[in-house]
């Protein structure tokens, strides 16, 4: 049976992981958090002192995921998206969060001031939405609000309906 691949992207702290895990448990699709994968497999290419975090080796990430993506049925969660092959995804969801809500979430994570400011600006200027529309066909890129629990539930329901419809359309 053919299953769709879904990309969840957006600024750190918008709720990609919460949404991805919830979707995976309700849809049976496989959930992959690229940050966790990189940590487990050491898919890094150095360290960024300024942001106090390792630098992702994008080519190795793509190599690592390619077979699973070809098989389908994968939900990928990452804050960047321009290095993934376009053919991988059937739909892309960019999560958006009000900056005051996002600020609190990132502060709770202990982000340093520069990292906090840059991520808030990233959200204000829709950097990841623009990256997504530049990297994928515009009709498959959708923005979802991600501020409160009701929106999470609504997003899960909407995406589950989309998955169900996609499976019907591609397996009949």
Which residues belong to the annotated binding site?
13, 15-18, 109, 148
Q: Name the one residue in this structure whose structure tokens are 């990297």.
A: 135
| Whole-number Å distance between alpha carbons of 91 and 84 | 13
User: Would you list which residues are annotated within the binding site for ATP?
Assistant: 13, 15-18, 109, 148
Q: Give, rounded to a whole angstrom, the gap between the first and last alpha carbons of the chain.
A: 10
| Whole-number Å distance between alpha carbons of 141 and 134 | 10
Residue 74, beta-bridge partner list: 30
């Amino acid at each position: 049976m053919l299953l769709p691949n879904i990309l969840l992207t957006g600024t750190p702290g918008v709720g990609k992981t919460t949404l991805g895990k919830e979707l995976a448990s309700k849809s049976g699709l496989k959930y992959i958090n690229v940050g966790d994968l990189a940590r487990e497999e050491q898919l890094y290419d150095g360290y960024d002192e300024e942001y106090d975090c390792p630098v992702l080796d994008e080519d190795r990430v793509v190599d690592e995921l390619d077979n699973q993506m070809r098989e389908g049925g994968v939900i990928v969660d990452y804050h960047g998206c321009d290095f993934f092959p376009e053919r991988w995804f059937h739909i892309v969801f960019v999560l958006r969060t009000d900056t005051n809500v996002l600020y609190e979430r990132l502060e709770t994570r202990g982000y340093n001031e520069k990292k906090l400011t840059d991520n808030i600006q990233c959200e204000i200027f829709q950097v990841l939405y623009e990256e997504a529309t530049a990297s994928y066909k515009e009709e498959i890129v959708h923005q979802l609000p991600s501020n409160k629990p009701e929106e999470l539930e609504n997003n899960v329901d909407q995406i589950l309906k989309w998955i169900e419809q996609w499976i019907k359309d591609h397996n009949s």
